[in-house]
Structure 1
Amino acid sequence: MGLERKIWEMFLCVSVLALSASFAQAESYTLERAVKDAQVQDPWLIGSMKRQESLEALSIESGSLPDPSVSLGIANLPIDTLDFSQEGMTQFKVGVSQMFPRGKTLSLKREKLQNLSEMQPHAREDRNAQVAVTVSQLWLDAYKSEQTIRLIEDDRALFEHLVDVAQSSYTTAAGKTRQQDLVRAQLELTRLDDRLTRLRQQRDMALARLGEWLGNPSISLSENTSLGNLIPLSAPELIGASDLSQKLRQLSESLSRHPKIKSLDKKIKAFDSGVRVAKQSYKPQWGVNASYGYRDQTPMGDDRSDFFSVGVSFDVPLFTGKRQDKKVQSANAELEAVKTERALILRQLKSGYDAAEAKHVRLSERKSLFDTRLLKEMAEQAEASLSSYTNDDGDFAEVVRARIAEINARIEALHVDIEIQKNIAQLNYFQAGK
């Protein structure tokens, strides 16, 4: 038993130390730092750079001539004696041949692969913009839960005060307080505790998802955070602009510079080069060959002259209906498909921006309503109901409802502020090419 107790105590000590170390290693992240760290640590970017490196290497390889062919052989060797010097036509031959691709095939293939490789920097820029949106939303989700917890914890004292007021009024029988009022007050306090537990669960889940992007399982949020200018709007002049035609022109120009569209522009250039590669199939393919034939001396010892041969070969693409024509047709179809993809992505970006802008306008209206009227009126209603109750002129249930409504309004106002920041992050993504 003594040994088992020592082992158990050692285990507890190790567990406490490990837990303390995990808390000690917890890092505090501002939104800006979280976005930058997530972008730096994104393994997708490394894969993109490797794809670009691969395509650049292939472009160099595809622009090179094919290797020449070398042939070695013995020609016209008599089979009766296998004597190399018996016949005058017997010779040892060395030949070299070189094929030349059709037209400008090499340079066009290299151009196509080079354009495909140049897609990757724009793809990485788009990825960084997407990561900024994703990490911002995860950070803001955790921040929303954390700030909601603080609001409820601050207001929990009000419900504790209500319980005390109901308890005092009930025990002294000085007012109209009933036992069910006391139970109701305690019930709402318990429901607040349950709500806090659920919010802590949401916060911990958001922090865990955020930690995946940051490569750190133990993180916390910076306490010195103000929602005022947390995420600056990249193009504030476009929101609610009065000159619609100018706004549409500026938006169209901005979206056409979006990294996703730039990447597709490079892809279109690559497939356009593919069409020109296909058209080179109408041109002949040339080849050059040369050979040297060595002959031995005659049986009498006289020298024989060696042979040298040179020639040119080429094919003649006469029957193009089922080969070259279809090849060009296929390349043109692929090019048009990519152009259609670009138009579709551009339409999606425009639609996404319009939806995000409409949401921003309505969220701003809600924020103004909360700031100027709703929060103030909710607080006045709660104070009035409590004052009426303490003067024996009100219902306790109404006091509780008013307090709950006030807390919910303050929480909703916080959520509106955070949704505005999320919305700005989304709007900034559409302006990534600005």
Structure 2
Amino acid sequence: MIRAVLLSGVLAISVSSLYADESTQGNRWVLNLDAAVNAAQLNDPWLVGNQHSQDAVDALSISAGTLPDPKMSIGMANLPMDTFNFDQEGMTQFKVGISQMFPRGDSLSIRQQQLQLMGTQYPYQRENRKARIVVTVSQLWLDAYKAQESIALIDKNRDLFEQLADVAQASYSSALGRTRQQDIVRAQLELTRLDDRLTVLHQHQEMSLQRLSEWLSDSFVDQYSKNTGIGQFLLSSGFSLSRQLPDTGLLNPQLYTTTTTVDPSVLLGYFSRHPAVMTLKQKIKASRAGIELARQKYKPAWGLNAGYGYRSDTPVGNNRADLFSLGVSFDLPVFTAKRQDKQLQSAVSRTEAVKTEEWLLLRKLMASFETSRAKLQRLNERKTLYQGRLLPQMHEQADASLTAYTNDDGDFSEVVRARIAELNAEIDELIINVERQRAIIQLNYFFETSVDAVTADDHRMGDK
């Protein structure tokens, strides 16, 4: 009877724990996934540095379209060595000259265009960086969330195992039933193992939160940006993660209706607009401009020079005419085999090398997409299996073993084993749900054209 009464309390605790309020988290700030991503993007110094790099290239493109500065010369010509008198010889003159060089062909405009094309890479780089931040921060947030919720599940079940240990102790002390000393030891052992699991999970949670703080922290943000984020406030005041797992929607869900591989031509249409691919496309355009720039080197560079020579009057006072000179200079690109031909060949090879980078990236995106898609499909199957069959069966088995033990028809070790199996199944279901969100966020990255479309979480800021 003692065991029956105690076991009824165990059942009550087990049922009530299923409906316990999990929303109370004290007065600490609650950080959801979207708020973490927004803070990371706001505080990222890489984005600021990339904007400065673009500004530098844009400024350079303006200067590249400008003619080189003219050169001015001032000097004395044909000064007699015997007297150094300025008016002694008719050839003696004070000369002022100016010259202006003109680059080859359309080199100025092509170089300016090339730099402008180089500058168009940077917005795509920032878009890709923001999309990668979404993936990276989401992975870290989900790691911490998985540890947090695993801890919550174990804490919820710990009271149950403590009650089971009390039941075994009371039954053994009263010499009623078939409780043995090894049952008491087994119950205490399972509690110790739960403590160890909690320690490991706390370690994982703390490590994930510290890695997440690298992205959330706004330390030194005032050194490179006028933005002020919430990172340092969160880190100093303390925060906890939201208890709600984000429900991220899939971009282009029609691609996941079949288990067969998606047609590469279909994926090419999507991936060609990806920011990382667009960065390489702009790089290819800039490299092609470099080919045209190399072709201009077959044309001569021109120079225009003009000079004015002032001559003094003769010693007897006769006027001497001043002199004016005008000339044109140009080089002759005659020996092209070792210079211009090789420079053009080099420019063409650089362009082809960048093209291979684009195809390599597209192949990588396609392979990564199919890998993540296969992972998501199997996770969906496991989720259906766990929710529809495995978890109900685990719960039924745990109840059956407890009932059998209550009626002196079961073994205590079987009760503990069934409860441990049920707890492990609940944690496995949590892991499946977390990994699904991880896979969905990774898949959405492949179809990124605007950062705001990667996640579908409606929450924008943390709740207090």
TM-score, normalised by the number of residues in structure 2? 0.85
1:240 equivalenced with 2:257 (yes/no): yes
Of 425, 432, 435, 1:419 maps to 435
% identical aligned pairs:
54
Q: What residue in structure 2 maps to residue 43 of structure 1?
A: 45
Q: Is the 8 A contact 2:117 2:286 kept in 1?
A: yes
Of 380, 400, 408, 1:364 maps to 380
1:379-418: CA deviation from partner (whole Å, max 9, x where unpaired): 1111111222222222222221111111000000011001
1:194 equivalenced with 2:211 (yes/no): no
Q: Structure 1: how far apart are the matches of 2:277 and 2:253?
A: 22
Q: What residue in structure 1 maps to residue 214 of structure 2?
A: 212
1:9-63: CA deviation from partner (whole Å, max 9, x where unpaired): xxxxxxxxxxxxxx99953211111111111111100000010011111111221
Q: Is the 8 A contact 2:145 2:241 kept in 1?
A: no
1:344 equivalenced with 2:360 (yes/no): yes
Q: What residue in structure 2 maps to residue 307 of structure 1?
A: 323
Q: What residue in structure 2 maps to residue 290 of structure 1?
A: 306
Q: Structure 2: how far apart are the matches of 1:46 and 1:282?
A: 40
1:329 equivalenced with 2:348 (yes/no): no
Most deviating of 151-160 and 369-378: 151-160
Q: Is the 8 A contact 2:268 2:362 kept in 1?
A: no
1:187-211: CA deviation from partner (whole Å, max 9, x where unpaired): 1012112211221221122111112
Letter in 2 for 1:237: Q
Q: Is the 8 A contact 2:140 2:212 kept in 1?
A: yes
1:241 is displaced (CA, Å) by 4.1
Q: What residue in structure 1 maps to residue 240 of structure 2?
A: 221
Q: Is the 8 A contact 1:207 1:220 kept in 2?
A: no
Q: What residue in structure 2 maps to residue 83 of structure 1?
A: 85
Q: Is the 8 A contact 2:146 2:431 kept in 1?
A: yes
Q: What residue in structure 1 maps to residue 286 of structure 2?
A: 270
Letter in 2 for 1:386: L
User: How many residues are treated as equivalent by the alignment?
Assistant: 409
1:164 is displaced (CA, Å) by 1.9
1:58 equivalenced with 2:60 (yes/no): yes
Q: Is the 8 A contact 2:149 2:243 kept in 1?
A: no
Q: Structure 1: how far apart are the matches of 2:195 and 2:39?
A: 35
Of 107, 122, 143, 1:141 maps to 143
1:101 is displaced (CA, Å) by 0.5
1:65 is paired with a residue whose SS is: coil
Q: Is the 8 A contact 1:143 1:221 kept in 2?
A: no
Residues 305/262 of structure 1: CA separation in 2 closer, same or farther (3 Å cut): same
Q: Structure 2: how far apart are the matches of 1:297 and 1:380?
A: 122
1:223 is displaced (CA, Å) by 3.7
Structure 1 runs (4+) greater than 6 angstroms displaced: 242-245
Q: What residue in structure 1 maps to residue 424 of structure 2?
A: 408
The structure showing larger relative contact order (alpha-carbon pairs under 8 Å, at least 6 residues apart) is: 2
1:312 is paired with a residue whose SS is: strand
Q: Is the 8 A contact 1:93 1:291 kept in 2?
A: yes
Q: What residue in structure 1 maps to residue 6 of structure 2?
A: none
Q: Is the 8 A contact 2:93 2:312 kept in 1?
A: yes
Q: What residue in structure 1 maps to residue 72 of structure 2?
A: 70
TM-score, normalised by the number of residues in structure 1? 0.91
Q: Structure 1: how far apart are the matches of 2:360 and 2:265?
A: 18
Most deviating of 249-258 and 96-105: 249-258
Letter in 2 for 1:264: L
Q: Is the 8 A contact 2:28 2:240 kept in 1?
A: no
Q: What residue in structure 1 maps to residue 449 of structure 2?
A: 433
1:248 is displaced (CA, Å) by 4.1
2:293 is paired with a residue whose SS is: helix
Q: Structure 2: how far apart are the matches of 1:309 and 1:26?
A: 84
Of 127, 146, 151, 1:125 maps to 127
1:149-206: CA deviation from partner (whole Å, max 9, x where unpaired): 1111111122112112211221222211110111101110121122112212211221
Q: Structure 2: how far apart are the matches of 1:151 and 1:88?
A: 107
1:277 is paired with a residue whose SS is: helix
Q: Is the 8 A contact 2:31 2:242 kept in 1?
A: no
1:287 is paired with a residue whose SS is: strand
